[in-house]
Structure 1
Amino acid sequence: MVDLDRARRIADFIRISEDKPSKSVGPHDLKGREDHKDTMLRHGVLISKSVTPSLHDQLNSVCESLYIPRECVTAFVYNSPEVQADCLIDSPDTCVLRFTSGLINLMDENEFKFVAGHELGHFLLGHGACSQYLSEGTSEDFMVRRARELSADRLGYLSIGNQEESLQAIIKTASGLNNQFLRFDVASFMSQTNMISNPSKGESKNSTHPSMLIRCRSLLWFAMSVHSIEDLDRLTQETIHQIDSRVVKDLEKFVDGQVRLRKTEFEKDISVWKSALLIYHSGSFTKEVQQRLQDILGEETLQSIKSFFELYSKEELLSEITQRLEETLKRSSHEFPSSAQNIENAGYKVAYKIVEG
């Protein structure tokens, strides 16, 4: 039975942890989008029973599989050789899908259903409806956008319940090749990760999509535990967290390890300057505190703080420490606006552990 609220609950349940949920969509978030459908009616072909009966039936099937009322979805095909699809949320409960003719001509029935389910996943998860967790152009912005694609892939997979055909759709999108030229050996395709000479370098930090290899790996982790949408009834949130942890390890290794390392560096810098501030206010840098600082942050950091304390007079020290802490917090907030508070809290937690034990 179709039920948009149920569909959204399912989507939210399997949302990857890196994909931060958006607030409820309001009219102000969707301002200027009401003309999008009219534009497509002028320049595209509406997917309908009378004009595109096969695509109409396939889209109906996807909506039914994901419990989405069909009237919530308007879909079009437009002329382009590119292999592209997108979803635009034009009201709190409706969306407009667009598929290029290049994509339609490339995909078989279930592969198209996967793509449609992927795009409807963006609708159910509220992607693009607002930018609450996005600060345009920041590293964190692109990290969230990449995670959203992995969440949407899970909905695409659930719309057909077939791992092999879901992966085939991703591989076709990556290559642009049709069945005439492809032999779907997923293991061989996945082995390309072993041929990457410098995985720690990661992918472009300004990319909105993870590579097709990472999308396939992420979907394989999910499909190992979830074989159909009905399986979600027996799954716990802990199982989803375990799947997500494997995906995050892949993201760290192959995609955005350098960006994640930057967050860790901010946490450490904050813990250093917050520790220095707490030590200053305590009035002494005891042997016990020095030992804990060395154990947690290392000998080099301990010696740096001791040298810093010796560099300034007591009257200058408070101002110097405060200035450095504030500058670090400001840089963290600029680079990671949505998780800056978490970074600060993590750094402070370490500092209190060092100074107070």
Structure 2
Amino acid sequence: MLKELESCRARIEALRFSGERQSCSQHKKFAVDAQRIRDSLFSQELSISSAVTPTLDESVLNVSHRLEIPRACIHVFVFPGPDLNAQCLLGTDGECIVRFSSALIDLLSPKEFEFVLGHEIAHFLLRHYRTEFFGQPHSIESLMHDRAMEISADRIGLVASGAIDVAIRALIKTASGLNDRHLRFDVSSFMRQMDKIEGTDTRAAESTHPSILIRCRALIWFSLNEDFYTGNLQFSSKNLIQIDKRIEEDLQRFIDGPAKQKIANAERDVAMWMRAKTIVAKGTFTKDEQSKFKDEFGDQMLVKMTTFLKGLSKSESIDTVEAKLNESLSYLSTLSPTASRAWRS
């Protein structure tokens, strides 16, 4: 079964959104007592099975078939709750544990349930539950990475459900909490909401999930890929590159642009104080060095740096610049641990 599962993972890997930044150093294998978790869920929650929940179990089988993942690897539980919630729990490489709130189950049709289930299973298949960013789980960098992971998981959810209209309906329902009685699924009208966005939503940059509109657009582009209609997991890398580029443009425009600029500004500050450290170590700020500093950091910063250094003795300037450099590196670390590590190395 493990061999079959790894084959499935290899096929799914090809669909991963390129916006995910992959690095072995960013992954950590957590020690988890999967049996204890599973036993606790079996004792306290409802396990989806053909005997007790036949319709839901049929949906699990459908997802298993479309993703070519062994059914025995998937454990799905339902817990009582008014919130719309689904989560993939930490398990092992050989088993996927997914939980759904009863409210979410009641809201979704069986086909929509398949999309959400496929999305959660994707986190397992792509090993998203092992990702952490050097002890900075809420850095700008980690949030961008989290949003990219959701784009990847949505793709697998779409493959699992087999229909773009089903996936869009599931996303709209989970975003609004409204059921079929209140919704008329005019997708084009819904997507036109993006035309009303005039700037960047700063709150969106603080979320682990992209907006529903961005997720829907990403799925629509993915569904227009001719490979989607073949019914298998073999997608042209060339086509995916074009799709990923469009998604990156959306993320850049509506969420990630200002976040990336904030990181770039912080890196510029680090570079400036590193240059200043070199200058004070030499003890002179020559005309040639001033010209280079101006070209890199601008007239205004040159004036500020010259004034700053004139007011300090050599020993004071060395200590002060070192402190400023450490401060700028520390701030960069809160935004982008990866960039901070690169500057420190």
Instruction: Give the TM-score taking structure 2 as reference length.
Output: 0.84
How far did residue 212 of structure 1 move? 1.4
Q: 3-state SS of the aligned residue for 2:200?
A: helix
**1:72–1:217 CA distance, 2 compared to 1 (3 A):** same
Q: Deviations over 1:229-287 (max 9, x none)?
A: 64744324xx5455434333333332344433321111110111122233445676555
For 1:223 and 1:297, locate their aligned partners in 2 and report how far apart those are by CA, in whole Å.
Answer: 45
SS at match of 1:14: coil
Q: Percent identity?
A: 35
- The 8 Å contact of residues 79 and 102 in structure 2, kept in 1 or not, is answered as yes
Is the Cα–Cα contact under 8 Å of residues 202 and 253 in structure 1 kept in the other structure?
no
Aligned to 1:116: 117
- Match for 2:59: what amino acid? Q
Kept after mapping to 2: 8 A contact 1:4/1:69: yes
Q: Report the 3-state secondary structure (helix = DSSP H, G, I; strand = E; otherwise coil) of the residue aligned with 2:96.
A: strand
Alpha-carbon separation, structure 1, partners of 2:156 and 2:62: 14
Say if 1:136 and 1:235 are closer, same or farther in 2 by CA, change over 3 A. closer
How has the CA–CA distance of structure 1 residues 322 and 22 changed in structure 2, closer, same or farther, with 3 Å as cutoff? closer
- Counterpart code for 1:183: R
Q: Residues 294 and 218 from structure 1, CA distance in 2 versus in 1: closer, same or farther, beyond 3 angstroms?
A: farther
Whether the aligned pair in 1 keeps the contact of 2:227 and 2:236 (CA below 8 Å) is: no
2:195 alignment counterpart = 194
Indicate the SS of the match to 1:167: helix
User: Where in structure 2 are the equivalents of 1:62-211 lying within 5 Å?
Assistant: 62-129=63-130, 131=132, 135-197=136-198, 199-211=199-211
> Runs of 4+ in structure 1 displaced over 6 angstroms?
none
**Is the partner of 1:104 in helix, strand or coil?**
helix
Flag structure 1 segments of 5+ consecutive residues without an equivalent.
Answer: 349-357
Q: Which amino acid aligns with 1:266?
A: A
CA distance in 2, matches of 1:241, 1:293: 38
Partner residue in 2 for 1:234? 236
CA distance in 2, matches of 1:286, 1:218: 53
TM-score scaled by structure 1?
0.82
Hey, what's the Cα distance between the residues in 1 that align with 2:147 and 2:284? Answer: 47
Q: Is the 8 A contact 1:202 1:257 kept in 2?
A: no
CA 1:13/1:132 → structure 2, altered by over 3 Å: closer, same or farther?
farther
Cα distance in 2, alignment partners of residues 307 and 99 from structure 1: 61
1:156 aligned partner, one-letter code? G
Specify the alignment match of 1:277 in structure 2: 277
1:22–1:132: 8 Å Cα contact kept in structure 2?
no
Q: Please report how far the alpha carbon of residue 123 of structure 1 lies from its aligned counterpart in structure 2 after TM superposition.
A: 0.5
Alpha-carbon offset, residue 320 of structure 1:
2.7
Show structure 2 runs of 5+ residues with no match. none
Aligned-pair distance for 1:332? Answer: 1.6
Contact 1:82 1:103 in 2 (8 A): yes
| CA pair 209-74 structure 1, distance change in 2 beyond 3 A | same
* AA in 2 matched with 1:337: P
Deviates more, 1:153-162 or 1:116-125: 153-162
Q: Give 1:108's aligned amino acid.
A: S
> Cα deviation per residue 1:301-337 (whole Å; 9 max; x = unaligned)?
2322232333333443333322221221122224432
Assess, with a 3 A threshold, how the Cα gap between structure 1 residues 240 and 338 changes in structure 2: closer, same or farther: farther
Change (3 A) 1:243 1:297: farther
- Confirm or deny: 8 A CA contact 2:204 2:211 kept in the other structure: no
CA RMSD of aligned residues (A): 3.1
Secondary structure, counterpart of 2:182 in structure 1: coil
Q: For residue 332 of structure 1, what is the amino acid of its counterpart?
A: L
User: Given the superposition, is the C-alpha separation of residues 139 and 62 from structure 1 closer, same or farther in structure 2, using an over 3 Å criterion?
Assistant: same
Instruction: Flag the 1:181–1:191 CA change in 2: closer, same or farther, 3 A.
Output: same
Q: Give deviations 1:26-51, integer Å, cap 9, x for gaps.
A: 4xx14354322223222332222222
Matching of residue 218 in structure 1 with residue 222 in structure 2: no
> What SS does the aligned partner of 1:210 have?
coil
**Contact persistence 2:273–2:324 (CA under 8 A):** yes
Corresponding position: 1:253 with 2:256: no
Residue 35 of structure 1 aligns to a residue whose secondary structure is: helix
Map of 1:275-354 to 2, 5 A cutoff?
275-280=275-280, 285=285, 289-342=289-342, 344=343
Per-residue deviation, residues 168-208 of structure 1 (Å, max 9, x unmatched): 211111122222322222222122223235x3242255433
Supply the distance in 2 between the matched residues of 1:257 and 1:13 (Cα, whole angstroms): 26
